[in-house]
Homo-oligomer: A and B are copies of this chain.
Amino acid sequence: MKNVFFLSSLMLVMVLGCNQSNLKTEPDDEIISADPLPSWKDGGNKSAIIDFVKQITQEDGANYVRPEERIATFDNDGTLWCEQPVVQMEFIIYQIQKMAPEHPEWKKQLPYKAILEGDKSFLINDLINNHGLEVIKLVTATHTGMTSEEFNLEVEDFFNATQHPKFNKKYTQTSYQPMIELLQYLRKNEFKTFICSGGGTDFMRVFAEDVYGIVPENTIGSFAINTYEEVDGLWKIVKGKKNFFMCDKEDKPVAIEQRIGRIPIFVAGNVRSGGDIGQLTYSKTNQLPNFQLLINHDDDVREFAYSEEDNSSLNAAKEGNWNVISMKNDWLKIFPFDN
């Protein structure tokens, strides 16, 4: 078993409603006349996306890709929604606090003690210096041993009860409006859109369909092997901890192969930990035309600004000729609630 950190997630925003004009079933001339990406500033990156989609959908063109092979994968944290803080880690903290009255021993026992005392640095140290061996105990306590239905209700409760500390909005409202538009634009052009993220598959499924229009079977994340058991006389899926798979870095292509079985032609990730270099690189190995998009968090006014110590994602972008998105300069609007 790998030791790990679940990084991920989003939810219930009504964002999909904001852009209904793009969802009409009118034919191609609408694509030509209306702007499919209204929250993107006109320029190189926006043009590159639209140009790629036009090329691969032109049936008599040299770069045509048939719909079955129009696979697009998106990281979630920092690519589709805000990852400051990492939402699934907030869920873990929320759950530990909620469960604490039934576990009086936690007050004196690490890692629970640190959570109950609000000591986030303990978690960060554990992840950096101890392979996350303590964090995995928190994941196990909060993500296993219940039916999948019970787990989903816990996640829903968390999203209803909490808010993002900077924006004072539900976490599910901190999705990126330009990326929602991009997902819709791709699906309208017969792409199949997938999440491929370090977040837990089951955690992300609770909100991915409502927020992103991404169906549960297209949500790829970290997982463990569950069991099918009779619980109180009814057959249920019970969340397990066996053979934990962390969907990150070089294991993202592994997850894509396991779940999709085709190399994506379009991949979007972001700068923070080098976590998406794997899937972005993987799409470059496709024999079909392919497109890579890397989001750079450089807007500390409207969102957050952060980078990587070793600059590995931006270096890989330069080498691979990926499209680097400046949130500050490429996006007219960041969140659906922005004016």
A residues at B contact (CB < 8 Å):
68, 71, 148, 192, 201-202, 205, 209, 215-219, 223, 225-228, 234-237, 243, 245, 250-251, 253-254, 257-262, 278, 281-282, 285
Known: A216-B261, A235-B281, A254-B237. A225 touches B209 (CB 8 A): no
Taking the closest CB of chain B, its distance from the CB of A68, in whole angstroms, is 6
* Residue among B202, B215, B251, B261 making CB contact with A201, cutoff 8 Å: B261
Known: A228-B253, A243-B243. A68 touches B209 (CB 8 A): yes
Q: Are A68 and B254 in contact, CB atoms less than 8 angstroms apart? A: no
Known: A217-B259, A235-B281, A245-B243. A228 touches B205 (CB 8 A): no
Q: Are B243 and A228 in contact, CB atoms less than 8 angstroms apart? A: no
Set of chain B residues within 8 Å of A262, measured between Cβ atoms: 216-217
Known interface pairs A243-B243, A259-B259; 8 further A-B residue pairs with C-beta atoms within 8 A, sorted by A's residue number: A148-B257, A201-B261, A216-B260, A217-B218, A219-B261, A226-B254, A234-B285, A235-B253
With most chain B CB atoms within 10 A of its CB, the pick from A202, A235, A281 is A235
CA distance A236 to B237 in the complex (A): 34
Known: A245-B243, A262-B217. A285 touches B235 (CB 8 A): yes
Set of chain B residues within 8 Å of A257, measured between Cβ atoms: 148, 226, 237
Taking the closest CB of chain B, its distance from the CB of A280, in whole angstroms, is 11
Q: Are B223 and A250 in contact, CB atoms less than 8 angstroms apart? A: no
With most chain B CB atoms within 10 A of its CB, the pick from A227, A234, A245, A257 is A257
Shortest 3 CB-CB contacts between residues of A and residues of B: A216-B261, A243-B243, A228-B253
Known: A68-B209, A68-B215, A217-B192. A228 touches B261 (CB 8 A): no
Known: A243-B243, A259-B217. A254 touches B227 (CB 8 A): yes
CA distance A259 to B201 in the complex (A): 9
Taking the closest CB of chain B, its distance from the CB of A215, in whole angstroms, is 6
Nearest-neighbor residue (CB-CB) of A281 within chain B: B235
CA distance A285 to B148 in the complex (A): 13
Taking the closest CB of chain B, its distance from the CB of A238, in whole angstroms, is 9
Q: Are A253 and B237 in contact, CB atoms less than 8 angstroms apart? A: yes
Q: List 24 A-B contacts (CB under 8 A).
A: A68-B209, A148-B257, A201-B258, A201-B261, A205-B261, A216-B262, A217-B218, A217-B259, A217-B261, A217-B262, A223-B258, A225-B243, A225-B254, A226-B257, A226-B258, A227-B250, A228-B282, A235-B281, A235-B282, A237-B253, A237-B254, A237-B257, A243-B243, A243-B245
